[in-house]
Chain A
């Protein structure tokens, strides 16, 4: 292939004129130097690939928009773009450091899952179920106050209003409800913890 031996300047000229093959030759010719240069600064294959790609996207855009005016100095120009992108990368990373998962460093040792496991969930369900059955043992007026306070999150004022008794009576019923619950729990030796 005759085009392979053309100088960079001529290939750039051909590429601008619409010869897409010229770009492939230019990349082929300089990829090792440019890639090696980026890798020597970044030392990460994946990021090096990203920067290499960004470098050539910039090259393509500049050439296609006819803004390139450094004929004869193609490689130094591309190297300068790569260098600037490497600097950009480090600047960005300084603001937001990125950590890659390695053998010594695991993201899961920093992140914890606070939700309960299956066993914990089952125990909680059982405890709540037991408590509901205990509530059924209470006298209706006490149960009513306790359900309104604990499950419906109503204030004693609201409970008093909706049951048609005074606040003190509502408070008293709540007190008796809790005392009776404790008594039943103690009597049956029920464990309500998880």
Chain B
């Protein structure tokens, strides 16, 4: 039988971020609006 020389990968394909993390990012994206005026940038988070 062929010998495997590769060591076990630390990350498995099943590894995914928490659902809350994804939820947070999507909500954050919806709430965030960025307005650029001149050379100034304003970040607004809608509550």
Contacts and interface: CB of A to CB of B under 8 A. Distances in A.
Interface of A: 20, 23-24, 27, 31-32, 35-37, 39-40, 43, 48-49, 52-53, 56-57, 60-61, 64-66
B41 interface: yes
Listed residue (B18, B25, B33, B36) with the most chain A CB atoms within 10 angstroms of its CB: B25
Given A23-B26, A27-B25, A49-B21, A60 B13 contact: no
B41 A31 contact: no
Interface residues of B, number: 23
B27 to A, nearest CB: 10
B29 A20 contact: yes
Contact of B25 (A35, A57, A64, A65): A57
Contacts of A20: 26, 29-30
A35 B17 contact: yes
Contacts of A24: 22, 26
B29 A32 contact: no
Nearest to A52: B17
A35 B43 contact: no
A32 B15 contact: yes
A60 B26 CA distance: 9
B22 A27 contact: yes
Contacts of A37: 11
B2 interface: no
Contact of B11 (A40, A49, A64): A40
Contacts of B26: 20, 23-24, 27
B34 interface: yes
The 8 A-B residue pairs with the shortest CB-CB distance in the complex, in nearest-first order: A36-B11, A65-B34, A64-B34, A40-B11, A56-B25, A39-B11, A60-B29, A52-B17
